[in-house]
A = this chain, B = another copy of it.
Amino acid sequence: MILDTVETPAAIIDYHKMCANIIRMRDRMNALKVAFRPHVKTSKCLEVAREQAAQGARGITVSTLKEAGMFYAGGFSDITYAVGISAAKLPLAHNLIRQGCDLKIITDSEESAAAIAAYGANNGMAFKVLIEVDTDGHRSGVKPESPDLVKIAEILDKGGSVLEGVLTHAGSSYDLYGREALEAMAEQERSGCVKAAKSLRKAGHACPTVSVGSTPTALSALSLDGVTEVRAGVYVFFDLVMHSIGVCSMDEIALSVLTTVIGHQKEKGWAITDAGWMAMSRDRGTAQRPIDYGYGQVCDIQGSPIAGYTVSGANQEHGIISCQGAVDKDIALRFPIGTRLRILPNHACATAAQFPGYIVLEADEQITAWPRFYGW
C-alpha cells in the first residue's frame, strides 16, 4: 500500500470519507432549507474548503484573522470571523476589507461595539457586524433576552458599522450524548438566536442574518425556522469526540495519524510508536466520555479499527499502544517493529493543527499532499 512509503508520523485524510461527510452535511442543510457556512478552523486548508464550496457551501467561518487572510488570498471572499474582535485587530480587519474581502466581524458588548463603530467612522468605512448571542452559557455572547442586545445594535447602527445579524454557537453540545439531548440543544440554539433577532427587529433593526451552529446541533436539528445559515467545522473530518456524542460512526472519521511501531515493553503489553502527543495533540477529549480512547483509537494501515487497542500514553514523540483493560503479552507479535498503524484522533481540530500538511489518500495507490497553515 502506498502509505507504506509515507514518512511517519503523518496526518492522513481519507478523501472519500471526507467527501461523504461534506455531502451528508450538504443534504441535511438542503433539507432544512438553510445556507451553510463551514468553519475552516478545523482544516486550515484551501483544498478542503474548496471541496466544501463545491458542494454548495456559501462563504466560510474563520477563528483568526490569519485564516481570513489566507482564505481570502485563496479565493474565498465571503468570510465571517466568529471570535469577538479586540480593538487592536480592527486595522487588520480593515485592511482585508480594503482589499475586497467581504469580512463580517462579531461583538458581544457595548464597549467593543463602540470601538468598532468609532474605528469605522474615523476611517470612513463601515464594518459588517453580527452580535454574538449566548444560547447555552458555555462561553461568550449576550443572552437572547438581554436588553444589551438592542443597546449594542443602536451603537452599531449609528455609523462606522452596520448590524448584519446575530450569531450563536451552542458549544455545550460537545458535552451531550444521544439524539434526544442533541435535538433539544439544537432547538435551544435555534430558538434563542431567533428570539434575539426578533427583539432586534422589534426595535427597528433589520437583522438579516441569523447564524447558528456546531457540528452536533447542525446534524441534530429537526427545524431551523427563522435561521438563515448554519456553521460547523469538525464534521468535515469527524473524530472520536463526535463519535462519543453520537453524531458519527467510527467509520466516518476521515482524519487519522499514520505511525510506525518503533519498540515494545513486552511484559507491560506496550507497543511504542513514533506518534506521541506532538502528533496526536494533548487533547484528551474522550477522557470524560463513556469510552476513554486515551490519545486515540488504533487502526490498521487500511484504517480499520483494532478493537480494544488505544494510545494509552504519550510523550512528545512516543506513543504507547496497549490493550484496554488487559496486558497483551503478545503485543510484539501483534504489532512487530516497523508495523504501520493509523490512529483516529480525539479531536480533529487539535490533531490536524500539529501538522504542516495532510496526506490525502484517494485510493490505495494514490496520494496527494495538501498544505495547511498555523499561527496567528
Contact = CB atoms under 8 A, between A and B. Distances in A.
Interface of A: 7-10, 41, 63-64, 83-89, 92, 108-109, 111-112, 115, 134, 139-140, 171, 260-265, 272, 274, 277-279, 281-284, 315-318, 320, 336-338, 347, 349-350, 353-357, 374-376
Contact of A10 (B337, B356, B376): B376
A160 to B, nearest CB: 17
A63 B262 contact: no
The A contact surface, by secondary structure, is loop
12 contacts: A7-B88, A8-B86, A83-B317, A86-B338, A109-B263, A109-B264, A111-B337, A140-B262, A278-B353, A282-B284, A282-B347, A284-B284
Given A139-B272, A140-B265, 12 more contacts: A83-B317, A83-B318, A84-B272, A86-B260, A111-B337, A112-B262, A139-B265, A171-B315, A281-B282, A282-B282, A353-B354, A357-B375
A140 B84 contact: no
B139 A318 contact: yes
A262 B337 contact: no
A259 to B, nearest CB: 10
B315 A139 contact: yes
A375 B352 CA distance: 11
This protein's copies in its complex:
2
Contacts of A265: 134, 139-140
A260 B375 contact: no
Contacts of A171: 315
Given A9-B376, A356-B374, A356-B375, A338 B87 contact: yes
Given A86-B262, A109-B337, A112-B337, A318 B353 contact: no
Contacts of A284: 282, 284
A268 to B, nearest CB: 8
A86 B140 CA distance: 46
A68 to B, nearest CB: 12
A281 B41 CA distance: 15
Contacts of A115: 337-338
Given A87-B338, A264-B109, A63 B317 contact: yes
